C-alpha cells in the first residue's frame, strides 16, 4: 500500500505517490535512515517553500495578472533603505493600491516578497491582480522605478515561485532577513490542500508520469516536475504535475525576464532528487500517516 496525494491549484494538478512507516511496500525494506545535515535540511526547507508558494500563485493568479518589481531611486553614497523603511513603504503602497482597487470595484489579491539584490539594492516583488499600470506607478510615487510583467497564459508559474524563493534564501533565518517570513500575502487567497488516498491495488507504485484517461487531451505532463527520490526517513516517493492546456503554454514574459525557460515542453528523463534529511519534505509525508485524509478525485 502507498499514499496518493493530489493537489489542485488553478490549472495545475500535482500528483505524488509515497510510502510511510504505516504504508510501506509489502515485503520491501526502506532505505537506510540518514541523520539530518545542515545543507540537506536547508534544501528540504527550500523545496517546501517553493511548493507552498507555487501552489499559492497557481491557485490565485492567471493570465493578465501582474508580476511587479518596485525599485528605489538611490543617489551615489546614499544608504540603502532599512528593513523598517521598506516595510513602511510596502504598507503605504498596498494601502494606496487597495483604495484604487475598491474605487474600480475590484478586489486586490497579492503576494509580496522583499529582496536584496546581488549588489545590495533593495526591491519589492509583488504578484497582484490585474490593474492599470499607471495606477501602480502612482501608488509607488516617486520612490523609484516600476517594472511590470503580465503573467503568461500557461497557468503554471513554477519558475516564478522558484525565482522568488531563491532570493529569500540569501537572508532567511538570519538577522539580515528583510521579512519575518519568506513572503506575505493578502488574506483572501485560496490555499490549496492535498487530497490523500490510501492505494492498496499494487505492491509497488508505478513510477510513470502520465495523464489519466479522463483528462486526456485536456492536460499535459510538465516534464520538468517529474521526480523520483527517497525521503529522509528512507521511504520512496514519485511526483509530477499536470497542467491544463490553454492559450500560451510556451515561455512567458516573466520567465524570459528572469532568463528562465518554461518547463512545460519536451520530454525529459525522471529527475532523481538528492536524498534529503529530516525536513519539510518529510513533514508532508508525516501528515498522511493517519490515513487517507481525502478521496481520490476526478479520475486520478
pLDDT tens digits in sequence order for the chain, 300 residues long: 788 899 999 999 999 988 765 554 555 554 555 555 566 677 777 888 899 999 999 999 999 999 999 999 988 888 888 889 999 999 999 999 999 999 999 999 999 998 877 777 889 999 999 999 999 999 999 899 999 999 999 999 999 999 988 876 665 555 555 666 788 999 999 999 999 988 876 656 678 899 999 999 999 999 999 999 876 656 788 999 999 997 654 433 333 344 333 333 333 444 444 444 343 343 333 333 333 333 333 345
Closest by Cα among 165, 258, 271 to 224 = 271
pLDDT of residue 29: 53
In a domain, residue 237? The reply is no
- Please check whether residue 180 lies inside any domain of the structure: yes
Owning domain of residue 123: 66-185
What is d(CA 199, CA 269) in angstroms, rounded to the nearest whole number? 25
Does a structural domain hold residue 117?
yes
CA distances from 300 to 10, 14, 216 (A): 16, 11, 11
Q: Is residue 94 part of a domain?
A: yes
Residue 283 domain-assigned (yes or no): no
Which pLDDT does position 237 carry in this prediction?
87
Across the chain, the runs of DSSP E, i.e. the strands, are 2-9, 12-18, 66-71, 110-116, 122-128, 146-150, 184-185, 195-199, 219-230, 236-244, 271-272
* Contact by Cβ (8 Å): 237, 14: no
Nearest one of 13, 260, 47, 225 to 152, comparing CA atoms: 260
pLDDT at residue 263, rounded to an integer: 37
Which CATH number fits the domain that encloses residue 108? 3.30.70
Q: How many domains does the chain have?
A: 1
Amino acid at each position: 500500500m502507498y499514499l496518493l496525494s493530489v493537489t489542485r491549484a488553478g490549472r495545475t494538478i500535482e500528483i505524488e505517490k509515497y510510502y510511510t512507516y504505516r504504508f510501506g511496500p509489502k515485503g520491501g525494506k526502506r532505505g537506510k535512515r540518514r541523520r539530518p545535515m545542515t545543507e540537506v535540511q536547508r534544501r528540504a526547507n527550500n523545496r517546501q517553500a517553493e511548493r507552498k508558494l507555487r501552489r499559492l500563485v497557481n491557485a490565485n493568479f492567471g493570465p493578465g495578472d501582474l508580476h511587479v518589481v518596485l525599485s528605489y531611486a538611490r543617489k551615489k553614497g546614499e544608504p540603502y533603505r532599512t528593513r523598517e523603511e521598506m516595510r513602511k513603504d510596502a504598507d503605504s503602497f498596498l494601502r494606496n493600491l487597495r483604495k484604487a482597487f475598491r474605487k474600480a470595484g475590484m478586489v486586490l489579491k497579492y503576494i509580496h516578497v522583499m529582496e536584496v539584490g546581488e549588489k545590495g539594492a533593495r526591491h519589492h516583488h509583488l504578484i497582484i491582480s490585474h490593474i492599470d499600470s499607471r495606477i501602480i506607478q502612482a501608488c509607488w510615487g516617486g520612490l523609484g522605478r516600476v517594472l511590470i510583467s503580465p503573467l503568461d497564459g500557461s497557468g503554471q508559474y513554477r519558475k516564478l515561485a522558484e525565482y522568488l524563493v531563491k532570493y529569500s534564501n540569501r537572508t532567511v533565518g538570519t538577522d539580515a532577513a528583510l521579512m519575518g517570513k519568506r513572503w506575505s500575502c493578502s488574506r483572501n487567497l485560496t490555499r490549496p490542500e492535498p487530497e490523500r488516498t490510501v492505494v492498496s491495488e499494487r505492491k509497488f507504485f508505478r513510477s510513470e508520469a502520465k495523464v489519466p484517461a479522463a483528462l486526456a487531451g485536456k492536460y499535459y505532463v510538465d516534464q520538468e516536475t517529474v521526480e523520483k527520490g527517497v525521503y529522509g526517513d528512507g521511504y520512496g516517493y514519485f511526483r509530477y504535475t499536470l497542467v491544463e492546456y490553454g492559450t500560451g503554454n510556451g515561455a512567458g514574459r516573466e520567465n524570459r525576464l528572469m532568463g528562465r525557460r518554461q518547463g512545460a515542453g519536451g520530454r525529459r528523463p525522471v529527475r532523481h532528487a538528492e536524498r534529503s534529511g529530516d525536513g519539510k519534505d518529510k513533514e508532508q509525508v508525516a501528515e498522511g500517516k493517519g490515513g487517507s485524509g481525502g478521496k481520490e478525485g476526478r479520475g486520478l
